[in-house]
């Protein structure tokens, strides 16, 4: 007999073979699954293939699916989304499920990264994948890792994901390949479809798009710099940043058996590498930017790239137009020693738009400013370097200091007596103004 069947919240029955059968209308699809596979080109054909198999099984007096769908007592699905869609193409509405224990589900509840890994564990060996699907799976792991841990993944984490995603995938994967797929999707999504269909390779497609100029018309109606010239707006933004920075710096700790508390973010000897720190601060600035605009400028409909892989850091959906650059604000952070901003593979091919840039001195002193960057025309802010693109603080200073396309709202930027840039870093402070 099937045990632990109490308090199940969905329509179900147990057949003569002790299979738990659940009504598919009561099952709740996993949001992360929809993000990864919802736009998969091959999804419809896969659904039809499974549906045909289900119809054959039903005609033989068998349950529709031999492999059960894992769900919890509420009906939340861990996997099996394609099987659920396929069943709708039959006359049957009850599907074979496996009931996940409360203990197992609570391990991932409220933990988007752990939930993603649980979801993928059901799909890695059961789904025939193409490059676009692998990219979606990787992006979900990367994005949800940061959401859960409030930090960027280490290189070892990313290499592990690639190794896991390689399972059942017929082509050789690498981190370089993933990075190439990211920029291909951003610059020319149709090429990603060609890769999936075997018409070209990721490497060939990347060579075609790495120096592409934007196809959209540049957006001219932008007023983000003026928003950050307003003292009330600056106060609100700083208040949000103080909070997220404080939590980041104070809650990433572990405790030894003798009671010694170690902050693995700030500790001189055990802390992460410098690049990790800047990436983490960039993610924090992105979240603050988006939250600020959603709260105080709701009409702009600001959104992060959480549900749209490869989208801008903050995109104002209310103003999007077909064929025109999205209205957006990007976020980048570098440290005072390096003074290099990193933009990824497609950064050197952009129309003019705004960036909120921050230079940090350690973890407590910053210079923050908003500026317009472009590679349009004669002005070239960002240059291709290796597998990515970069801009030095010196390049920004040379191209923009004497123009009116920037505004420093924390710290100060000035020209020294020798004509070179001088940067004044200031603390944000720990006190949070609740007013």
Give the contacts of 21 (CB within 8 A, at least 6 positions apart): 12, 13, 14, 15, 63, 94, 95, 96, 97
Radius of gyration of the chain (CA): 25
Domain topology for 224-427: ECO RV Endonuclease; Chain A (3.40.600)
358 three-class SS: strand
Q: What is the pTM of this model?
A: 0.59
Return the pLDDT at 78. Answer: 83
Residue 426 belongs to what H/E stretch?
strand 426-427
- Which range has the worst mean pLDDT, 32-41, 105-114, 366-375? 32-41
Which tens digit of pLDDT belongs to each residue from 225-252?
999 999 999 999 999 999 999 888 888 8
Residue matched to tokens 């200073």: 397
Return the pLDDT at 40. Answer: 52
Residue 13 belongs to what H/E stretch?
strand 12-14
pLDDT averaged over every residue in the chain = 86
- Which range has the worst mean pLDDT, 46-60, 174-188, 272-286, 374-388? 374-388
Can you give the residue ranges of every domain in the chain? Answer: 1-108, 129-209, 224-427
Residue 207 belongs to what H/E stretch?
helix 202-209
Given a cut of 80, whether residue 56 has pLDDT beyond it is yes
Return the pLDDT at 1. Answer: 42
Return the pLDDT at 288. Answer: 96
Are 117 and 145 contacting, i.e. CB atoms less than 8 angstroms apart? no
- Which range has the worst mean pLDDT, 169-173, 228-232, 308-312, 431-435? 431-435
């Amino acid at each position: 007999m099937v045990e632990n069947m109490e308090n199940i919240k969905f329509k179900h029955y147990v057949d003569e073979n002790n299979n738990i059968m659940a009504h598919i209308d009561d099952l709740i699809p996993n949001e992360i699954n929809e993000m990864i596979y919802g736009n998969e080109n091959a999804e419809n054909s896969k659904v039809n293939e499974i549906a045909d198999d289900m119809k054959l099984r039903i005609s033989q007096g068998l349950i529709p699916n031999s492999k059960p769908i894992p769900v919890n007592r509420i009906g939340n699905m861990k996997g099996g989304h394609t099987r659920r869609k396929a069943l709708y193409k039959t006359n049957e509405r009850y599907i074979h499920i496996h009931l996940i224990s409360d203990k197992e589900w609570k391990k991932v509840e409220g933990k988007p990264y752990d939930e993603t890994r649980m979801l993928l564990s059901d799909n890695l060996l059961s789904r025939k994948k193409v490059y676009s699907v692998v990219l979606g799976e990787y992006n979900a792991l990367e994005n949800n890792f940061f959401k859960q841990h409030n930090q960027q993944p280490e290189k070892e984490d990313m290499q592990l994901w690639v190794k896991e995603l390689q399972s059942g995938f017929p082509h050789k994967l690498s981190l370089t390949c993933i990075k190439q797929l990211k920029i291909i999707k951003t610059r020319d999504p149709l090429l990603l479809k060609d890769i999936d269909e075997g018409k070209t390779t990721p490497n060939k497609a990347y060579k075609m798009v790495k120096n592409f100029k934007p196809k959209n018309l540049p957006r001219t109606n932008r007023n983000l710099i003026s928003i950050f010239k307003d003292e009330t707006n600056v106060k609100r933004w700083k208040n949000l940043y103080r909070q997220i920075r404080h939590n980041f710096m104070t809650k990433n700790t572990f405790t030894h058996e003798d009671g010694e508390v170690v902050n693995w973010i700030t500790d001189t000897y055990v802390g992460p590498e410098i690049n990790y720190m800047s990436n983490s601060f960039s993610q924090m600035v992105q979240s603050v930017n988006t939250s600020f605009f959603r709260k105080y400028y709701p009409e702009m409909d600001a959104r992060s790239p959480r549900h749209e892989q490869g989208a801008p850091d903050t995109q104002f959906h209310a103003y999007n137009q077909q064929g025109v650059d999205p209205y957006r604000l990007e976020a980048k952070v570098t440290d005072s020693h390096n003074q290099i901003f990193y933009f990824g593979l497609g950064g050197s091919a952009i129309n003019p738009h705004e960036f909120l840039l921050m230079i940090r001195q350690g973890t407590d002193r910053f210079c923050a400013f908003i500026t317009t960057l472009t590679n349009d025309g004669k002005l070239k802010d960002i240059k291709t370097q290796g597998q990515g693109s970069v801009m030095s603080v010196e390049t920004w200073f040379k191209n923009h200091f004497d123009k009116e396309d920037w505004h420093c709202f924390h710290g100060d930027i000035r020209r020294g007596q020798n004509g070179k840039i001088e940067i004044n870093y200031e603390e944000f402070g720990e006190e949070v103004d609740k007013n």
